[in-house]
C-alpha cells in the first residue's frame, strides 16, 4: 500500500483478529499506486487502496488496446466499513441488501444517486483514453496497418447527444406542420362561414 496507509497497518496490528495481525506483518509500502500495481503484476502480490481509485488507475494505466487488463479487484474490501448488515457472509440476498445500503448512502451523501453513474462514466472515459493511447502507439509502430486501426478506433455508437441536431430539426418540423394544420382549419372554418352568409 502507499505510505499514507501506515495507519491502517497500525490498526490491523493492534486488532484482536489473527487474520488482521497476519496481514499487518506482511504489509509493505510502495512508493506510489502505479508502482504497487506493477509489483502486484510482477511478484503476484496484492495492492491495497481505495476501490474506486484502484479502478481508475487500472483503467487509465493498465488497460490494453483490446480493453482487457491483467489486474482484477477482489470482491470484498479488507477495510472496515461504516455500514453493515448482520447477515451470513455468502447469503444469496446479500447483493440486494448491499444495493439498499448503497442507495441510502447515495441519497444522503452522494447527490441523490448520481455517484454510481458519474463513477461509471469516469471509468469508461479512462478505459477509452487508455485504449486510444495503446492504438496510437500501435499505429506508430505499425505504419502499414494505420488505416485499419484508425478505422477501428473511429467506430463509435451514436448517442442522444449525437442525434440532438436531427431530433431538434424533427421537432421543429412537427411544430411547423401543427401550426400549418391549425391555420388551415381556422382559414377553412372562416371560409365556410363567409360562403354561408
Question: Mind listing the pLDDT tens digit for each residue in 139-167?
Answer: 777 655 444 444 444 566 777 777 788 88
The pLDDT tens digits of the residues spanning 44-74 come to 888 877 777 888 888 888 877 777 788 878 7
Do the beta carbons of residue 130 and residue 58 sit within 8 Å? no
What whole-number distance in Å separates Cα of residue 108 and Cα of residue 123?
23
Do the beta carbons of residue 75 and residue 94 sit within 8 Å? no
The pLDDT tens digits of the residues spanning 13-32 come to 888 888 888 888 888 888 88
Instruction: Name, in order, each residue with C-beta under 8 angstroms of 54's C-beta and a sequence gap of 6 or more.
Output: 33, 37, 47, 73
Indicate yes or no: pTM above 0.85: no
What whole-number distance in Å separates Cα of residue 58 and Cα of residue 43?
17
What whole-number distance in Å separates Cα of residue 193 and Cα of residue 197?
6
| Mean per-residue pLDDT of the chain | 76
Predicted local distance difference test score (pLDDT) of residue 150: 47
Amino acid at each position: 500500500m502507499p505510505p499514507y496507509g501506515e495507519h491502517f497497518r497500525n490498526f490491523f496490528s493492534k486488532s484482536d483478529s489473527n487474520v488482521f495481525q497476519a496481514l499487518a506483518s506482511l504489509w509493505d509500502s510502495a512508493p506510489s499506486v502505479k508502482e504497487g500495481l506493477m509489483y502486484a503484476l510482477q511478484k503476484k502480490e496484492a495492492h491495497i487502496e481505495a476501490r474506486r481509485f484502484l479502478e481508475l488507475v487500472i483503467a487509465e494505466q493498465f488497460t490494453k488496446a483490446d480493453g482487457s487488463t491483467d489486474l482484477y479487484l477482489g470482491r470484498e474490501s479488507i477495510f472496515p466499513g461504516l455500514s453493515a448488515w448482520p447477515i451470513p457472509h455468502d447469503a444469496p440476498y446479500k447483493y440486494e441488501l448491499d444495493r439498499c445500503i448503497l442507495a441510502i448512502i447515495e441519497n444522503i451523501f452522494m447527490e441523490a444517486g448520481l455517484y454510481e453513474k458519474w463513477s461509471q462514466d469516469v471509468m469508461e472515459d479512462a478505459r477509452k483514453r487508455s485504449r486510444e493511447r495503446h492504438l496510437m502507439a500501435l499505429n506508430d509502430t505499425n505504419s502499414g496497418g494505420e488505416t485499419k486501426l484508425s478505422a477501428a478506433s473511429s467506430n463509435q455508437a451514436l448517442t442522444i447527444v449525437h442525434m440532438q441536431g436531427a431530433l431538434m430539426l424533427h421537432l421543429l418540423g412537427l411544430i411547423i406542420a401543427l401550426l400549418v394544420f391549425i391555420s388551415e382549419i381556422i382559414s377553412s372554418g372562416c371560409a365556410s362561414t363567409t360562403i354561408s352568409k
